[in-house]
Amino acid sequence: MWRREDTLPIKIGNIVIGGGNPVAVQSMTNTRTEDVPATVSQIKRLEKAGCELVRVAVPTKDSALKLGEIKKSISIPLIADLHFDLSLGFIALEMGVDKIRINPGTVPNRQILKDLVLEAKARNVPIRVGVNKGSLPDSYSKDREGLVKCALDYVKLIEDWGYTNLVVSIKSSDPEETVNANVLLASYVRYPISLGVTEAGGGWRGIVKSSIGLALALKEGIGDTVRVSLTGDPVMEVKVAYEVLRSLNLRRRGVNLIACPTCGRCQVDLESYYQEVESALENITVPIDVAVMGCSVNGPGEARLADCGVAFGKDKAVFFIKGNIIGTFSPREAIKKLISYVKEAERYKDENVTAFLLSTEGDA
Amino acid sequence: MWRREDTLPIKIGNIVIGGGNPVAVQSMTNTRTEDVPATVSQIKRLEKAGCELVRVAVPTKDSALKLGEIKKSISIPLIADLHFDLSLGFIALEMGVDKIRINPGTVPNRQILKDLVLEAKARNVPIRVGVNKGSLPDSYSKDREGLVKCALDYVKLIEDWGYTNLVVSIKSSDPEETVNANVLLASYVRYPISLGVTEAGGGWRGIVKSSIGLALALKEGIGDTVRVSLTGDPVMEVKVAYEVLRSLNLRRRGVNLIACPTCGRCQVDLESYYQEVESALENITVPIDVAVMGCSVNGPGEARLADCGVAFGKDKAVFFIKGNIIGTFSPREAIKKLISYVKEAERYKDENVTAFLLSTEGDA
């Protein structure tokens, strides 16, 4: 089986995926692509959240013609998502997109696909062969084998036309089927795999399905780039992707929040403190473990093990940095100190915030 | 390694966990246990969401004395969570709780633990030895080996006192550590394992960590009962637990929502239709796959593969039941039909809703 370390490196704009490079986080806009300001603004929000590759739908000639303007205004590689009308792919390539995605289920005929592949080859722009169960051509069985066979057939077709600058994906709305199909796929192809559970739904439902599908495949060494699909704001897709990668110790970015579920033992409104901390630290990028704990059972232990933490008692809170007790404060004061500590850590962009630690000790 | 099929069956009130029984879903209240109306009301909400076992904190004598009244008012087994003051465990047993949980990190001395174990034995009430990294006794290393050694030491202690009606858990706030510790634990003990990632945080962060920790262990055959820990309303813990179990095809309960993330190709406000469907079908218990899809790429395919589904175009929607097109309707009408179809399926408690299907066909 070809694992992440063994896949071929493929360059997409300024990012290389595959070949053991860090698993790249991608997302897709849900604005009308024709609306350049809205699309660029959403991509900038995605970039800020850590998105490393962005895909946009290209359903119309107007949307294809806007890709150049979009590309000029953003910093991450731009991917054109093509279905049905592949003639738009030529415009997308002309506009300088960094990758194109084709779907075997929406290719109108092989001649136009071949022409597009040769154009991409001439420009050395990578192509993703992206198979989705919801649009699998009728000639394939609607199961793992059918999904894999479809991907392999189209990869072979493109290879036969002399192009190997490829990425492959197989997505199902069933997390287990997605994992099983990708494991089988990885036994056949050495191209980087773009991993995701499709049509996962929104909110908690989609987060569960995506987390499980991604984690089970990534744990097998499969997946060079990931996309979490959620009904709603795509910024959440990026946040969830990083949380998945952090949970598997594959990437670390931003705050890892450790907080108890609360129980009848908790004597503060922990949920509101939790939300305050989460919201204050939303844009932190430095990897840091932050504990917000409600009682004396696991509170002091978790707060001590984290980079920084607060363990609440009744009307008071102990603030820890790197396992050391900084002092006992009012809940409000402790939360304030926690937040400013993390912001200092972000400012120094490393975890050496001794100066701040010393300046804080005096207040205890 | 002892997997789910091999673990010993342990009876907790009217539920048996272990021995290959379905993975039971549990949660814990976060009301003050002393407040009986609030606690009972929360447990009733948990029951409605499918919670099969519920744990309550017992931090005070008053809370222990209220357990009998709570137990009388609920239908699922009640578990007393004991820390520090184990004398409260005797009251809890007297009040008729169905299981007690002790934590090696909060046992004040071995004599009182022994007395409590013998009392539980006399009443044949199971005990969970619940180890948490945040409260691991100092004498153990703060890693997988230390966590497992602590659990095994306390299991051995209780076995030496002649009691084997046990459940074991090891929880860390790191999903991978939780999985690795439970895999090691399962190589030593045949008692059912209560699985969960502790202090996972709230919202999307906690959902990701819990989903991954649970899925990776369950996939290894480990976990006889699960608890998702989330900062916030515990009803969400139960919903997430079922979504995890459904994603692994271990349990099926309620609606599986399949919906696209939307993109520049989508011409309706899919997110609001999604939320409308989700909210209308919140209390459905019959297992059913429902697709709400935004465009012609994967829409018709997913809607056809689901038990029922709607695939939107511009200003119209195709409604499918069991792979058959029922008709093309306005978006509003299609959503209405989808919701009433699922409610009919719930009413008949099976998937044989032919009568409804026939009555709907006429409208097309």
> Amino acid letter at A336?
K
Interface contact flag, A132 B298, Cβ < 8 Å: yes
Which of B298, B304, B310 to probe by mutation at the A interface, max A CB count within 10 Å?
B298
B276 shares contact with chain A (CB less than 8 Å): no
Helix H, strand E, coil C: the string for A198-261 is CCECEHHHHHHHHHHHHHHHHHCCCCCEEECCCECCHHHHHHHHHHHHHHCCCCCCCEEEEECC
Q: Which of A27, A54, A173, A176 is the best substitution to test chain B (most B C-beta atoms within 10 A)?
A: A173
Q: What is the mean pLDDT of chain A?
A: 95
Q: Is the pLDDT of residue A274 over 90?
A: yes
Using CB atoms and an 8 Å cut-off, which of residues 50-109 of chain A contact chain B?
56-59, 63, 81, 83-84, 103, 105-106
- Lowest-pLDDT range of B75-89, B159-173, B347-361: B347-361
Q: Is residue B351 scored above 50 in pLDDT?
A: no
Look at B357 and B261; give whichever has higher pLDDT: B261
pLDDT tens-digit readout, B307-326: 999 999 988 999 999 999 99
> Which domains can be identified in chain A, with CATH numbers?
4-247 (3.20.20.20), 255-360 (3.30.413.10)
Q: What is the pLDDT of residues A143-180, one digit of tens each?
A: 999 999 999 999 999 999 999 999 999 999 999 999 99
Q: What is the average pLDDT across B56-83? A: 98
Least CB–CB distance from A133: residue in B34, B236, B301:
B301
pLDDT score recorded for residue B335: 97
pLDDT on residue B364: 38
Q: Distance between CA A221 and CA B132 in Å, rounded?
A: 29
State the nearest Cα–Cα gap between B278 and chain A, in angstroms.
9
Instruction: Give the mean pLDDT of B55-67.
Output: 98
Q: Judge residue B317's burial from the number of C-beta atoms within 10 Å of its C-beta, 0-12 exposed, 13-18 middle, 19 or more buried.
A: buried
pTM of the model: 0.95
Q: Give which of A298, A312, A318 to mutate to test B binding, by max B Cβ within 10 Å.
A: A298
What rounded mean pLDDT belongs to chain B?
A: 95
Which residues of chain B does A257 touch, with a Cβ-Cβ cutoff of 8 Å? 201-202, 205
Please tell me the predicted confidence (pLDDT) of residue A314. Answer: 87
pLDDT for residue B363 is more than 50: no
Which pLDDT band holds residue B362 (cuts at 50, 70, 90)? very low
Distance from CA of B131 to the nearest CA of A (A): 10
Q: What is the mean pLDDT of residues A233-258?
A: 96
Could you give the CA distance from residue A60 to residue B82 in angstroms, rounded to a whole number? Answer: 63
CB contact (8 A) between residue A106 and residue B240? no
Work out the average pLDDT over A87-112: 98
The pLDDT of A292-307, averaged and rounded, is 94
Band of residue A260 on the pLDDT scale cut at 50, 70, 90: very high
Res A351: pLDDT? 47
Span B113-138, pLDDT tens digits: 999 999 999 999 999 999 999 999 99
Q: Which of A64-73, B205-214, B293-302 has the lowest mean pLDDT?
A: B293-302
Q: What is the DSSP letter of B320?
A: E
- Nearest to B244, CA basis, from B269, B225, B272, B267: B225
Q: What is the pLDDT of residue B356?
A: 53
Strand partners, A12: A15
Cβ of residue A279 closer than 8 Å to a chain B Cβ: no
Q: Which pLDDT tens digit goes with each residue over B206-227? A: 999 999 999 999 999 999 999 9
